[in-house]
Every structure is written in structure tokens, then in C-alpha cells.
Structure 1
Amino acid sequence: MFKKPLSGIKTSAPLRSSDKRKLKQRVVAAFGISSEDGDLLVPDGIQSVKFSTHLEEPGVAYLAPDGDPLWFTLGIGSNDLIPTVYTLWKRRNLLPVLSTPAAVVPILVGGADLMIPGVVHHDPSLKEKQLVSILQYNYSLENPTLSPPLAVGRMALPSDQLTRDGQGKGKAVLVLHTWKDHLWDLGSKGDAPEPVPFASGLTEQSPQSAEELPSEARSKELHQSNTEALADLAIQSSESVLPSAGPYYTPQEITSLLHTSLLQAISSTIPASAFPIPATLFYTNHLLPSRPAFPALLVPHSGHTPPDASPCPSSAEITIKSSTHKSLTAFLKGEEKASLLTLKSPQKHSQQTDLLVTSVNAKHPFIAGHHHYATLKDVEATAAKKAMRDEKAREEQAGGGEIKVTELWKPHQATVGLFERMGGNPADLYPLADVKTLLNSYISTNSLINPREQAYINLDEALINCVSSKAKGKTKGKDTVKEPGLVEFMKRDELTKAIVERMQSYYEVSDGKDVVRKKGEIKPIQVVMKVRQGRKVSTLISGFEPFLVVKAEDMAEELRKTCAGATSVSPIAGKPGLEVLVQGKQAAAVVEYLTSKGVPKKWIEVLDVSGKK
């Protein structure tokens, strides 16, 4: 919800004492907390600020005196208070909780919803649309922990429908707000509280916990999925993300993972033109993005916590500093000795102090034996694509999608027999592409291409009977349709046009919700600027009725505000339909209004007959 910056932010204003008391009463009543907790979560000096999301949904945020957002509402006139993560850090038990693995949290912060397979534990008896908080589950054989709340959302379904038996699919929580999103950025951006030991009051989302699975079976389970499936699991699954032992990697294990990441980077065909590359850029742009998204699949944890172990709850913390080398130079020189790359030291008096990676050895035996895996870069790309799809779907549901207009034709009179010969159904409606497909197949099957002039088609009896009959009308717009005589051959495009002209016209209009199909030819909306009442120029809009989302009264009212001029709606003289009149030359505003409603520009025709520049 807040993955993009807020817009239309107003100046914050302190709440009056009476409004503050009402807000506190709402919080106490809604969340069943004590009056003392109410004072903590609705402090003196609390302020309110209005804003709009990137989806243009209005909202109100309530800020602490230090600027931390504590509560927010979404929607016009909404009284449904939603706590922020700052509030949940003060009272962790304010909302029921669900847990998810560490690798899923960045995906949620990126704007995705929590999928059913991504739920590890949850409070029992959760209801649909109930507010919940999402915590990060850090697995450890001896001491599993839960992070503070990192996201807030609503249950997409009751908790009894959350399964991990292979049948659970779809969304578990519709995420509203997360740690490090743009609402969180309004506050102090302080560090999150420390994780707490895992409590046993949560329901496990798996028939067996990871500890109960035999090591051999667990290993087989983790290695079943292919690379593409693993990348998708960052959003839709948490099963493979759970480590097979404690959340600790030794420096030796991290070095092994960095070496594997280097093999992945080299095998991903870095272009030769990219070299030489400064070592730090090579590390940042190629090595780090190639780290495994699911490191436990490549280097299992040691199963114990040695004194020099580095905590590694997620692959994002696999870095040079946590390895045995401690420095990038030492790591790269070690890989150079293994003949995986070549390095060049900076010149003595050069301003460049960084090592240069001059080339990599893509033919090394290690590269030949390397098996590709899902990387952090893959996961981020998958998450970004999904976020874009979700946003597009939300925009279409909100009416922001473009109207789809499809022209159709039905076989009629002489074309009925032709379509039967072509293998079509004369009762069906066909878009132009399907008419061309049937005709091309018929031409190919009957070898009708003229051997001398292959741009022409030899007409057989069925085609001659079709194109020699009268078309539907003598005129089409301003152009007179010439009646073809008895011809023996025609160009393919001319033949297609002649057939279509002898079919009945239909059209289909869809706005994503409703689909309307009617007989007749659909024409563009007419936006005509002409002189009326002496020297005054007006803009007249007509022919919009077939486009489902455009209503005359709504359009007149909207354009009256946009154009700051008089508008009116009246019947068209001598024709069916309505006409909207807007004072002045307002074609640009009209086109903008129509396209905002989803009308494609190709279906808007603008004509200026006012004679004025």
C-alpha cells in the first residue's frame, strides 16, 4: 500500500483535547487494551495529517510528537484504525500474529502480499479481514526466535483454510503497511527491537516441523524443486527457505558460499566489454547479486554454534566481512590463484587505488561443473514482476484499465456458403484475424495462389460467387464502394476486404467487468469544435453511448469543473443518442477525460470546424 511515496500530504495539525479523547476511546474499545496502554499509544501532543496513496486512496495518519506514525485509516470516512509497526513495537500483542521466513520479508516490503505457503506459524481461529501482524521467524535448533512485527495486513481468508499439504495456494494476508515502506519513512526510522524467543502458542503451518523430519528426507525435500520454482518460492513458499540446522554459518561456510556465488556470476556470461572492472564494482554489481536466495540448499548449516560463528539468518548477510578472508582483496587473490579470474594492481601514481578485474575464465572446470540456482537477483526480479502485475490488476479493478473494443463480422447471404467451404460455422462471429486465418488456410489447401503473380489469388467458384454478389451497401462513409464484376483473380488484401464487406457487422465492448455485444458498426466518439450562437465556439461530444463507462451526465459535470465553463446535455436532432456541449475549444480536456475512463485514443475522433486558430 505504501511502496511508493505518499502524495497530497497536508500540514500536520495537533488534535484537540476532545478529539484526542475520542481517538483514545476508539483505540481502547477496538483493541481491548487498558486505559494506561491507551495513554501510551495515543500520547499527548498527537497530531493528524491527511495524505493520498499512489493509488489515489485518501487516508489519515496520526503522528506522535516525535513524528512517528502510530495509527492510520484508509478510505473516505473510514473509522477503521490500523496500527503501524511503530505502535506494534510498543505493544507486540496488540494484534494476532503470523510468522514467515527471513527471505520473504524483503518481498513483503517490496509491496507483495503474504502467500499461503509463506506462512510458518499463525494464531489459531483467525477470521477473514481480521487485522494481523507479520513477524520474521528465525529458525534455530535450540533457540528459535520471532522478530518484532514487521508488517500489518488483513487476513484474506480464515486461518482454518491455511494449509501446507500442497493444496494451500493463494493469498493469506493482504499487506497494508510494512517496516521500511514510505509510511514508516515518515517517522524516526529507529532500529527494530530485539527478537524474542519463540512462544508455543502459535499453530505450526506444517504437518511436521523441520526438526521432526529425518535429515535424509529433509535433504531430499529441499532439493526437489528446480531453479525457477525456487525463485517463485520467495513469494509463494517458505518451505525451502527454512534452514536445515541453526541460523549460523561459520566463516568457512560463508567463504564457500561466496566462492559458489563467484562461479554463478562468471557462468552468467559477463560481457567481455565490461572488463576491466574495479574490484569493488565487480563485487557489488556481479558477486553480491549472484548470492543464493536459499543458501541452505547449497551449503547446509553445521548444526552447531561455534564461538567464531557469524549469525546468518538470510543470504543478504553473506558478505566478505563474515568470511575467512575479511577483505575483498584477499578473497579475489585467492580466486586468482585458482585461475578463475585475473587481477591487475593499480599503478603507483594513479588516482585509482582499487584492484582491477581484467578478465574471468569461463572455461574453467569449476564453471563447467557448476549448477545454476536461484539468486537474490532472480528473487528480486520475480518479486518486482509480481508487484507490477498486482498493481496493474488493482488498477483494472478500480476502473483504470483500458476499454477493449472488438469488431466482429458474421457470415451473411453469399458469404455463408463460402464459410461452410472454409470449415467455419456460419452462425459464429469472427474478428478480422480469424477471417484472414480461415481464408489463408482455404487458399493454401486449394492451391489458389497464382503461380505467375504470387501477390494474386485465383478465385474458385465459391470465391467468385461471394465477391461478385452485391455488397451490404453502396457507400461506406464518404467513399463509394465499387461493385466488382466477374473477376478471376484478386490481391489477397482486396479479396479479404471484399468478403468482409459482404458480412454483417457486430462489435463487442468490455470494460473488464461487463461485456456488451451489439449488431452494427461501432464508430469513434466524435469531438467536434464548431461556432454556435454567433461567434462563440463550443465543443460537442457525441457517439459515446457504446463505450460503457462514459455517461452523459457524469461527463458534463466533470468537464464543467475541469474546463470551468458551462456544459449541457441534449438529444441529437434527428438522430438517436445524446450530445454533450462544452463551452469553448476544449478538445484536449475532453480527450483527456475520455482516455482516463479507458477509451482508447483510436476510438476518439477530433474535428475542428470552427474556422478559428
Structure 2
Amino acid sequence: MFSKAFRVKSNTAIKGSDRRKLRADVTAAFATLGTDQVSELIPGKEELNIVKLYTHKGDAVTAYTSAGNPILFELEKNLYPTVYTLWSYPDLLPTFTTWPLVLEKLVGGADLMLPGLVVPPAGLPRVQKGELCAIALVGNRAPVAIGVAAMSTAEMLAAGLKGRGFSVLHTYQDHLWQSGDKSSPPSIAPPLPDATDVSEEKVQGDMRGLALRGEEGNGEACRAHGESSLPEAPEDGSGSRGDPSQDLAEGKSLPEQMDGLLRQCFLHALKCRVRKADLPLLTSTLLGSHMFSCCPEGQQLDIKKSSYKKLSKFLQHMQQEEIVQVKELSRGVESVVAVDWKHPSITSFVIPEPSPASQTVQEGGREQPYRAPDVKALYCVPASMTLLFRESGHRKGSALEASEVRATVIDYVKKNDLVDADNKNLVKLDPVLCDCILEKNEQHTVLKLPWDNLLSRCLEKLQPAYQVTFPGQEPLVKKGKICPIDISLAQRTYNKKVTVVRNLEAYGLDPSSVASALQQRCHASTTVTPVPGAKDGLQVQIQGNQIHHLGRLLLEEFGLPRKHIQGLEKAPRPGKK
């Protein structure tokens, strides 16, 4: 796309509202980026420009530049990262590997053909047709191009790695790259494969030509020699190259095995456990309450060991296959809103027969599928405190635990010899501590502080944040303080009382599932309604004062800590005998 010079229509500084919208678009387009990473990519105050340009083919493209480098470009309302961004976040996209000789052809406007791929021992990344991918060179994980997959990984294998694999959009050394500082790719070592990822028998490689189809000026397909590893056909004749599933049936790598188990538990849960009345269903509830329960005995479902790494990425693939539809109904919380139960993948799925031992466990014991998340209080470093934390390697926006904050302050005091010689319990305040800790009216009056006062003041000056870790998922860091589950009593007509529960979603609890459990436990009617005055969020209402039953459900069955629940003291007291 940028193989030839483009024409710049305008170059303007971005507005604050557009900056916030861009940050939201980046978060939606690249689910693997955390909040801190999005803030680093789209900074809050640093210069950021919008460049309107036209390519040599007439396509209207919007590019976003930061510190003089293009970091993103938008085409037909789709957002794409540049190689400058991928060098900072090399794991942002699924990465395929090719040979160094191919790069020259890609820069000239050629697409990447499948014979040019280098197949690692762990196999090719799992992608779907139309998914955005990165392309790197052998020996260096830093991407040199981005493109759109012309077919899914399964179709690539079924085609014997022949044909066009990727439509290349942007490359290192093209004109978009030349509009930046023209830096070279960093040297990023490829990840070392686990011992389980490498089969005992070395995969034999065939010397094959690398066919590259040029976009326009190249005309004929260009070829360069390289080596591509392809799986050999079984010697016993039990499989053929035309059936890749049979070729890969033996000696599967650990990510491939976990991918298969993940898909099996997903389809099993949709076919047997999830009903239409359960929708919308929190993705965390789908995993914790349904998919974990469908895992065969003797096996453990671990998304981190799959090629997807995150549940959100796996569900994106399932959405691309049109099995489910996922939406973010409330900020940062995704839910499954629709399921195609007539999809061939669900209708053709055969439910595995449980072993006798597992049947005994299910019949004799009670399932506890939900596991409470781990919540940690964190503190973010604001701009006014960077001088204090810079010596310890922490930057603006770094999230620290209280123990890390204390260790950083103590280390700073000792390094700068600020402990009072006459009283070891006092700390002398240097200019940095004065600016970070003291109020303006204290700058010239307070010269020393006790240790506990110094540390408590430091924690107060930091910005609150928290980290939520759901079982089997990556930790999620958010700014602010996590709101506890709020239980309250409300009066309705005829002086009737109802129990209202809010903010269940923040702890991975599905309001509909909680309402159903309470209805059975309390034998009272329950409803799920939107929270009044809020743009998103749901609340559960139970007839009568049911705080006692609700507390037992949250504390004993769900295992939530009491500190994350407020309103339990409103439970009715037992009557006198």
C-alpha cells in the first residue's frame, strides 16, 4: 500500500476528544493491550498528530504520529499498527516467519505466498481468514510487515502451504516507515520452545520456491529460494497430505492440545449447560461456571498454555466463526449476547462420555464452579511523583503495591542519606521529597517527618488503582478504587421491602445466575434490572429482606472476601425465643 510515495492532505494536532476516542478504538481493536500499554501508545499530553493522506492508488488513509513516528493508520474504519508500534509490542498480533530474502519483494509491493513461510516446531499460529497478522524474519521476532490473512490456518495446511497467504499492507522500509525516524528493527530473540513443544522426530524440510505475487508494478510472480518445514506423511499410510488433521493427530504440541481442549470445553458448555435464558452471559462466568466444569477428568484447562493466551482472544475467533456474539455491555466487562445453537460446530459436537469415577464425583459432591477473583490494591505514579520513583526504574503510570512503594521510599531515603543522625525515627526532607510529599503551605515550615507519616503521605499522593485476576485469565489493572458489592434495602408499594444487589459484574458474577440461585434459596421472586441513573450495569432485586441468605451465598459458596461486600450488617436479627 505504501510501496510508492503518498500525498499528504493535512497534518494537524489531535484534539482531546479525538485522543480519548482513539484510545478507546485502540482498546477495542487490540484486546491484548493493557490499560497502561494503551496509555503509553496514546499518551495523554505528549504531541500527537493526525495526518490525512492519499496513497498512490487513491486510497484515503488517516495516520497517527507520535514523536515524529507513525504509530497507527486507519483505512476504511479499520485500525492498523505500524512497524514502529510492533517493535514496542511484538506480541500484539499473531506472527508468521519468513526468510530475509523475501523482505525486498514485500517492500516492492508483493504479497506473501504460503511457500515462503517458515513453520516452527510448535506449528503455525492459529488465525482466521481476514485476521490481521505480523510478519517477521528468521532469527528476529521484531515484525517487518503487517498483512491480512487470505485464509485460515486450517485452510493453509489443507492447501499444503500453497497459494497466497497474506495481503501485505505495510512494511519496514516502505514510504510510511520513511516518514518516521527511519530506525531499523530491534533485535528481539525468538521465544525458546518448551521441551513439550518439540517432537522427538525432527520435522523434515523441503527446498521450495518462495512465490510472491506483486501488487501492480511487479506483474509476474517473483520467486526467491528458501526452506519451508512441512509435516511428512505418515510412513504407515494412515494419513495423507490432503488431510492436515490426520497429519497433526500424532505428536501435537502443547498449545495445539490446549487449543483442542479449550474448544471442546467451549462447545460442550454451549451444548449442555448454557441456555437462551442465561444470555447475556459474562465471559468470566462462561469460563468459571461452565467451561471448567466440562473439562474431562485428569485434564486441566489453562488458557495461558494455549495459542490464544487470553479468553477474549479465543472468543474473538469463535465470533469470527459465527458461533457466538460477544459485546462489551459495561466498561471493561464482556458478555456473550447471542449463540447460534444451529451452528454445525455445536450440532456435530459429540459429548464425551464421563468416566465412572467422574460420575461418582458429580453425584456425590456438590460442584463449586465459580472461583472468586484475586483483587489487589495498587498505586499509580502520577507526574508529580516521578522524580521520587525514577531512581528505582518506575515511570509515570507505573502500578505498584504498597510494599513496593514503601521499599522505594526507604531505598531513596537511605541512598540520599536523609535519616536524621540524632533521631533515627525522623527523615530529613530534601527538595524532591518536599515537592512530592508536602503541601504548598508546608514547603518552608516542615523540615523533617516521622517514617510512618512520610510513608502514609506518599501513599495518599499516589493515584489509587487495583488489579483483578480471574482464574485462568491475565491480570487486569484498572485505575481508581474497586467498588464493593453493594447490598441495600428499598421500600416498595404497600411498605414492602426488597433487597437490592449491585456491582456483581466487577467480581465476575453474572447477575442472572445470582438471581436464579437466590430464587431457589429464598423461595422469593427475583428480577434483574438496569441500575437507575447509570449508563451500564445491572442490579438484582429479591423480594423481602434476604441479606442473610445473600451473605451466605456470597461468602460461603462463592468464597468472596467480606471486605469486598458492604451492607451485610443490614441482615435481620434472629427473633427472641
Please give the TM-score of this superposition, normalised by the length of structure 2.
Answer: 0.34
Query: TM (normalized to structure 1)?
Result: 0.32
Q: Which has the larger radius of gyration?
A: 1
